């Protein structure tokens, strides 16, 4: 399917891996464009999304994704310290 910009839309299936940027006020970021273009050029079945959240994700959020097709996240301020603390406490 073609988009208005003339680019092919990506198909997301059951085996598609995904990751993204977690933060607040992410409307300006170019990260999805950069990551998804690279994935397309490399022929990878993955997608990079923005997850614009009102509050920092909890440990339960990350635990629920264990064993899923998630490959990872980048985390921006103001959540970076809170998320880092979740993973430091797992060591």
User: Distance (Å, rounded) from C-alpha 55 to C-alpha 61?
Assistant: 12
Neighbours of 56 (CB within 10 A): 18
Each residue of 41-54: pLDDT tens digit?
Answer: 999 999 999 999 99
Asked if residue 26 has pLDDT above 60, the reply is: yes
Q: What is the chain's mean pLDDT, rounded?
A: 86
Active site residue 54: no
Which is the catalytic residue, given 15, 54, 80, 82?
Answer: 80
pLDDT at 90: 60
Question: What CA–CA distances, in Å, run from 6 to 1, 32, 36, 41, 44?
Answer: 9, 18, 16, 16, 20
Q: Phi and psi (nearest 5°) for 62?
A: -70, -40
* pLDDT band per the 50, 70, 90 thresholds, residue 91: low
- Across the range 61-86, mean pLDDT stands at 90
Asked if residue 8 has pLDDT above 60, the reply is: no
């Amino acid at each position: 399917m073609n988009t208005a910009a003339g680019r092919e839309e990506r198909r997301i299936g059951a085996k598609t891996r995904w990751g993204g940027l977690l933060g607040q006020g992410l409307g300006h970021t170019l990260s999805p464009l950069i990551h998804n273009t690279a994935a397309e050029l490399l022929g990878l079945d993955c997608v990079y999304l923005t997850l614009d959240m009102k509050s920092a994700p909890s440990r339960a959020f990350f635990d629920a994704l264990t064993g899923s097709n998630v490959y990872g996240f980048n985390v921006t301020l103001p959540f970076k310290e809170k998320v880092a603390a979740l993973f430091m406490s797992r060591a």
